[in-house]
Amino acid sequence: MKKKNKMKKIILVVSILIVSVLNAQNLVENGGFEETRGEYLGKVKFNNWEFSDYIHHSKGEAHNGNQSLKIYNSGIVRGSSIKVEKNAEYTLKFWYKGYEENKAEGDTLIRRFDIKTSIEWYDKNGRKLKNKSNEKFLEPEYPCDWTKGEYVFKAFSSAVSAKINFSLKSNGGPIFIDDVSFEKTGESSTEDSSGIQVPSEFRAEIYQREIDLSWNKENDDNLKWEMVFNGKSITLDRNYCNLTDLEPNTKYEVKLRTIDGNKKSDFIEQSIWTKRIEYDENDDNRVPHLRTLGIYGNCSKKIKLFYNDLYNPNAEIKYFVDGEQVQPNGKDFIFPKTGKQKLRVIIKEKEGFEWEIEYNLNVK
């Protein structure tokens, strides 16, 4: 089987803590989606919630109460503004489920979906502090019964308010959300009992075979960090780390703490799922492609050879720039020159799975 593929220019922007339980109060207004204010263009208007213009939503069957939020397609759901305390820890909880359909022959079809949650933090002037604040991806189980989602966030050091954000992606069936709560479950502190700064704002940009981690850095050049990844410890002198050669749709455990001389802070912990490959291995629509090329074909002279939708990470891959073969240095690829040029990539994943892809690029 010889797969024929057109030129692909694909940009994929993707791109936790243990807390003690206090006497928590739910800060979310209308977290059960019980309060509405009529309909507009066939869409129910839920009090204290905002929706993408193109998202189709209505009342659904309830987990508790009389109704839930029912989403029919993909889009963004955002809660109203909530007052928060700087550096305090908050726990987001909600219930969700997907859709089950019985096909004619009696088999059950489970509609796949994705839910990504994040918190948008705002300072006293109403400015959003981060675009991707502690994003969390639900484990890909696609439940058809009500299932609980629970994540812990830490407010940024200059945050005074926040908004809950759900990014939903449906694959042919509705998604139900109900009983959303956001409660303070940790005190406003950035230090542990040893007096050492505990890392906060621990962020992860997630791909199929890589994870880019970063965290806040205090104004102290002498600080270092210890990261434990899958049981192996490494010491870092920078506030970021790139984890590579991972497996798609796999759960990885990460722990991080601050080192100040002979003192070490408590660990913060995070479980991270890498993204799944979008297509089945034998799907004719699957095309392994570089995910590190810039927008509109612009790219740096040096790029990383990171791929999406590649099942075999040891596939035989050859690279040609303007007809001349160029040998990469491991995961690093350096173009011979800058300017407009054509990159041709020949991929042989295994016998019968071959692609030839051309990229028209402007190398800067």
Check: CB of residue 147 under 8 Å from CB of residue 177. Answer: no
pLDDT, residue 355, reads: 96
Which pLDDT belongs to residue 351? 92
Q: What is the CATH number of the domain that holds 133?
A: 2.60.120.260
pLDDT at 1: 39
Whether 243 and 304 share a structural domain: no
Cα angle 129, 134, 136; round to 5: 145
β-strand partners of 120: 163
3-state SS assignment for residue 153: strand
Residues 232 and 119 in one domain: no
Q: Over 76-99, what HEC string results?
A: EEEECCEECCCCCEEEEEEEEECC
Listing from the earlier edge strand, what are the strands of the sheet with 211-214? 203-206, 211-214, 240-243
Which H or E element spans position 335? none
Tokens 């799944």 — which residue? 276
Give yes or no: residues 262 and 351 share one domain. Answer: no
Query: Contact at 8 Å (CB) between 209 and 122?
Result: no
Q: Are 295 and 268 in the same domain?
A: no
CATH number at residue 257: 2.60.40.10
Do both 64 and 106 map to the same domain? yes
Task: Check whether residue 171 and residue 213 sit in a common domain.
Answer: no
Considering its fold, how many domains does the chain have in total? 3
Lookup result for tokens 């994003």: 135
22, part of any domain: no
Cα 53 to Cα 35: distance, rounded to the nearest angstrom: 20
Same domain for 307 and 346? yes
Report yes or no on 15 lying in a domain. no
Query: In which domain, by residue range, is 327 found?
Result: 289-363
Evaluate if pTM is beyond 0.75: no
Structure tokens of 132?
Answer: 């991707």
In a domain, 335, yes or no: yes
Residues in the chain: 364
**Looking at the domain assignment, is residue 113 inside a domain?**
yes
Shared domain check, 266 and 158: no
Q: Is 221 exposed, middle or buried (0-12, 13-18, 19+ CB in 10 A)?
A: exposed
Name the nearest CA neighbour of 126 among 159, 166, 79, 152.
159
The answer to whether 167 and 131 have CB atoms below 8 angstroms apart is: no
**What pLDDT score was predicted for residue 290?**
95
Specify whether 96 is located in the same domain as 181.
Answer: yes
Which DSSP symbol is given to 257?
A: E
Domain termination residue (choose one: 273, 301, 318): 273
46 and 162, same domain (yes or no): yes
Give CA separation, 85 vs 162, 187, 216, 229, in Å.
Answer: 10, 9, 18, 31
Please indicate, yes or no, if residue 18 is contained in any of the structural domains.
no
Tell me, yes or no, whether 5 lies in a domain.
no
Please list the pLDDT of the chain residue by residue as tens digits (364 residues).
344 443 333 322 222 222 233 346 899 999 999 999 888 777 889 999 999 988 888 999 999 999 999 998 888 999 999 999 887 889 999 999 887 665 555 565 556 788 888 899 888 888 887 644 456 766 556 677 898 988 888 887 778 999 999 998 887 778 999 999 999 988 765 555 455 666 766 678 899 999 999 887 766 678 899 999 988 999 999 989 999 999 999 999 899 988 888 888 888 888 888 999 989 999 999 999 999 997 778 899 999 999 999 999 999 999 999 999 999 999 999 999 999 999 999 999 999 999 999 999 999 9
**CA nearest to 347, candidates 284, 297, 287:** 287
Q: Residues 152, 244: one domain?
A: no
Number of C-alpha atoms within 13 angstroms, CB side, residue 49?
29
Q: What is the pLDDT of residues 73-90, one digit of tens each?
A: 888 999 999 999 887 889
Give the separation between CA 140 and CA 249, rounded to whole angstroms.
8
Other C-beta atoms within 10 Å of 117: how many?
A: 22
pLDDT (tens digit per residue) in 224-276 = 999 999 889 999 999 899 999 999 999 998 999 888 888 888 888 888 889 99
- The CATH number assigned to the domain holding 312 equals 2.60.40
- Whether residue 242 lies inside any domain: the answer is yes
Instruction: Kindly state whether residues 162 and 218 are assigned to the same domain.
Output: no
Q: Answer whether 256's CB lies under 8 Å from 202's CB.
A: yes
Is 213 inside any structural domain?
A: yes
Q: Helix, strand, or coil here: 196? A: coil
Give the pLDDT score at 103.
52
Distance of alpha carbon 87 from its chain centroid, rounded? Answer: 22
Q: How far is CA 82 from CA 111, 115, 160, 202, in A?
A: 33, 21, 9, 21
